[in-house]
Amino acid sequence: MELHSNHPQLNDKPYAQKQRLAYIDFLLLFKGAFSRSDLTQKFEMGLANATRDISLYKELMPNNCEFDNPSKTYIQSKKFTPLFKHDPRKTLIKLAHDISDGFDAIGDISFPVEAPSQLNVPDIFIVAKLVQAILSNKAVSIIYTSLSSGSTSREIVPHAIVDNGLRWHVRAFDRKSQSFRDFVLTRVSKVTIKDKAVEEFEKNIEDHQWTRIMPLDLVPHPNNVNHPTAIELDYGMENGLITLNVRAAMAGYLLRRWNVDCTENASLVGGEYQLWLRNRQTLYGAENLAIAPGYE
């Protein structure tokens, strides 16, 4: 969790104290309670300092907790409002993968949140070399194993590392095909940074599929969904519509991942197609649409 709060009295507080206040806030939000010993054990601090932090938290948010004398714990009150901003997406990822940033109780408590096993995990040293090349505006030589050619050496000019929802890839200019392409990171086995200067036409500004932003108007499928309100809730729609602005290079991946019917008349049949792309014409010119359901 990032330490974001709109409370003005936090501005002049030491960072370490704000970290402890965030810990209290997290415990109240997700566990529903905390004790003085939670603070002393987590931060290896004395009872007096823990009491001081609790008093400050209660001063800042007087309606957030009530002391339960029998259990010696502070219980979340019915008027609880978080002191800090807890981003839903980031927090769920942290809870599911047991990742702590030091401002939460992840690792101290086993939370009942799980995510599918991720088998497609790139080599971190491969990723690091590619990031170095991107930041220094350099080309790289890679050993890449493709389905069509097997393992070959090629030179690319990378400009972004991307999670397309199914797997990680690097977006780069490919000097062999003289075009911008996606390379699956788990298929890269070696990276060597080159000293040769990058040409202007190889830079990301010339990757028109990357720089082009297209709006996707998604609505509940008119033929496959009996209760569209459920789909509206799933995707946070307003008035039965959600508009996503995505890069043309990423559109096909998103449409495939969400099983969006891209036919002109919403003609795909099946319960897996719960969304329909209402403005199909927006896809004109996008290049990776072979994987978009129903698009021809």
**Domain assignment present for 296:** no
User: Among residues 176, 207, 238, which one ends one of the domains?
Assistant: 207
Q: Does residue 219 sit in the same domain as residue 285?
A: yes
Q: Does residue 51 sit in the same domain as residue 66?
A: yes
Q: Does residue 88 sit in the same domain as residue 17?
A: yes
**What is the domain range of residue 136?**
124-207
> Could you read off the pLDDT of 153-205 as tens digits, one per residue?
999 999 999 988 778 999 999 999 999 999 999 999 999 999 888 999 999 99
**Domain assignment present for 103:** no
The CA distance from 28 to 26, in Å, is 5
Helix axes 15-30, 36-43, angle to 10 degrees: 130
Q: Does residue 227 sit in the same domain as residue 268?
A: yes
Q: What DSSP character marks residue 289?
A: G
pLDDT at 200: 95
> pTM, whole model, 2 decimals?
0.77
User: Among residues 177, 192, 207, which one ends one of the domains?
Assistant: 207
Task: Give start and end residues of each alpha helix (H) in 98-123.
Answer: none
**Domain assignment present for 110:** no
What residues have CB less than 8 Å from 143, skipping those under 6 apart? 151, 152, 153, 188, 189, 190
Over range 242-271, report the average pLDDT. Answer: 96
Residue 104 · residue 23 · CB < 8 Å: yes
> Could you read off the pLDDT of 46-64 as tens digits, one per residue?
999 999 999 999 999 999 9
| Number of domains the chain is built from | 3
Please name every residue paired with 245 in a beta bridge, in sequence order, or none if there are none: 215
User: CA 293 → CA 239, 254, 276, 278, distances in Å?
Assistant: 24, 11, 10, 14
Please name every residue paired with 163 in a beta bridge, in sequence order, or none if there are none: 168
